[in-house]
Structure 1
Amino acid sequence: MDSPYNTYQNKGLPPGPISSPSLKSIEAVLYPADTDYLYYVTKKRRLQHASVRGDVQAASEKHSRERKEREVKRRTRRLATDITARRRLSSGASSPADARRRRQAPGLTFG
């Protein structure tokens, strides 16, 4: 498209703004909602928690605790996967099904 606003074809900034706020955005700034909320926490673009001053510390601690719990679960899953892989390799099994067969019938050769 041939336009001075096409920054793929034209180097530098366009001659004017490339976007502008909506009427609702302007109204929200001019007439803010009457609330005691001081901050909010979002997760994947969804509002999770809005808080007043007294809840700030509690909300921060809750967020940190949940984050640590997720990290522990992630590490536990990774460790379990590593242990399973090591057992499979040490038994000479090439697949989980092969490992099961070796445990069920020791001394037999599967191939």
Structure 2
Amino acid sequence: MSSTPPPTITRTVCKTLAVLVLTGVFMLSLRFSAVVAGMVDRIAGTGMWLALYRLAGANDATEQERLIVMAVALVCCLLAIAVVEVADRLISRRHTAS
């Protein structure tokens, strides 16, 4: 098993910026992609989301929209973290092989 390189401030800053940029790109895809927006609409109309609205006390449309935006931001951020981690491991593996 290969050892991972020691963390550096530069590497951490680069990964953080990559996560922020990817999160923004993923969130923009919701705005500009009818496919992604349709998926979010379908998910937001499920029984699970209705239960989540009640649990969170989101009684009106504005509060429900806020809850949806928070969930979208969280999912986009988690997806961005996963993409950056996979890319980082692939790059590290490539550098150790060279």
TM-score by length of 2: 0.43
**Structure with a larger share of its residues in strand:** 1
Choose between structure 1 and 2 for higher RCO, CA contacts under 8 A separated by at least 6 residues: 2
**Structure with a larger share of its residues in helix:** 2
TM-score by length of 1: 0.38
Higher-Rg member (1/2): 1
